[in-house]
Amino acid sequence: MPTNELVIRDVSKWHGKVEAISGVNLTLGSGERVALLGHNGAGKTTLIRMILGLTRIDGGEISVFGAAPGSARARQDTAYLPEAVAFHKSLTGREQLRLFTKLAGEPKAVTDSLLERVGLEDAADRRIGTWSKGMRQRLGLAQVMLGRPKLALLDEPTSGLDPISRTDFYEILDELVAQGTAVLVSSHALTELEARTDRIAILRKGKLVAEDSLASLRRRAQLPVRLIVSTASENAAQVATELGGARVNCRGVELSCTAHDKMARLGRIAELGGLVDDVDVIPPSLEDLYRHFATGEIKQ
C-alpha cells in the first residue's frame, strides 16, 4: 500500500463572505497520479496554494508528509510548477537551472542531463527572455525533477507546449511516478489526462463533487455508451432499421445504450453477420464525465 504523502481533511477557505473551498477531503499516496479538475474559479489554485502553505486554511487540516503546509519538512520534498512559470530573463537556461541545482544540493552535472531530458540542450545558453512560453514551461519541469521530489504539484503544466512536448511531458511524469512521486495535476486538458491518471477529483464551486477512478465515475454517472456500426452503403438503411439506430454519413449507424445493455446490443449487432463490417464502442469520455459532475445534477 502506498503511504499518504498528502492528506486533506475537511478543508475550507473563505474569501470574505464567499466560501471558496468547502469541506474538501482528498488523499494522495506515493506513486499516485490524481487529476484535479474544475471550472475557472472552482478553487483548484486556491487548494494548491493551501497545500504549499501560501494561503491560510480557515477550516480543517492539510498534512504534507505528516507536517504542516509551508513548513521546512513539507517544502523539502515538494516540487511545484505553476501555470505562469517565471524565471530571471537575463539568465541563460543553463545558468538558471544550475542555480536551482546548487540550491537543491545536486551535482553540477545534473543540470546538463536535465536540460537534455526536457529538450532544451540547444537553447540552454540563450537568455530566458528570448524563450517561448513552452520553453519556459519545460525549464520549470526540469526544476520539478530536481532532487527526486516525493510530491509534485502541477498547475496547468502543459500550457504552451506543442503536441510533441506534451507527449514528452507525460513520459517524464511516468518517470516521476515510477520513482514513487505523488503527482497532483490541475488541468483543463481533459483529453490528455483521460488515460494518464489513477484518480480524478472534480471541484464545483469549491466542493469536491466526485473523486474516483475513471471506470468508477463512469459507473456512477450512468451516461450512455455510443456504438458506431460500419456497413456497406447499400446495407446502411437495413442495419439502421434492424438496430433502431440513426444513420451517420453513408456507411454508418449510431446508437446508444446503457453500460448494462452493451453486451446484449453487441450480440444483436453480431447476429446481422455480413451486413456489418465493424463496430466501435465509445464509452463516456472524461470530458463527458466532467460536464456531468461539474455542471449537471449529481447522483449520490
Instruction: Give the pLDDT of residue 64.
Output: 96
pLDDT tens for each residue of 261-272: 999 999 999 999
pLDDT digits (tens, 9 = 90+) for 61-102: 999 999 999 999 999 999 999 988 889 999 999 999 999 999
pLDDT at 299 > cutoff 50: no
Question: In whole angstroms, what is the distance from residue 148 CA to residue 150 CA?
Answer: 7
- CA 224 from centroid of its chain's CA atoms: 23
Looking at residue 188, its pLDDT comes to: 85
Using alpha carbons only, give the angle 106, 97, 122 rounded to the nearest 5 degrees. 120
> What pLDDT is stored for residue 89 in this prediction?
94
Q: CA 52 to CA 220: how far, in whole Å?
A: 32
User: What is the DSSP secondary structure assignment for residue 140, as one 8-state letter?
Assistant: H
The pLDDT tens digits for 21-45 are 999 999 999 999 999 999 888 999 9
DSSP code, position 285: P
Instruction: Please tell me the total number of residues recorded for the chain in this structure.
Output: 300
CATH numbers and ranges of domains, the chain:
4-219 (3.40.50.300), 224-283 (3.30.70.920)
Distance of alpha carbon 115 from alpha carbon 112, whole angstroms: 5
From the CB of residue 283, how many other CB atoms can be counted at a distance below 10 Å?
15
Q: What is the mean pLDDT of residues 159-178?
A: 88
- For residue 1, the model assigns a pLDDT of 44
Is the predicted pLDDT of residue 3 greater than 80, yes or no?
no
CA 132 to chain centre: 23
User: What is the pLDDT at residue 130?
Assistant: 95
Residue 226: per-residue pLDDT: 94
pLDDT of residue 298: 43
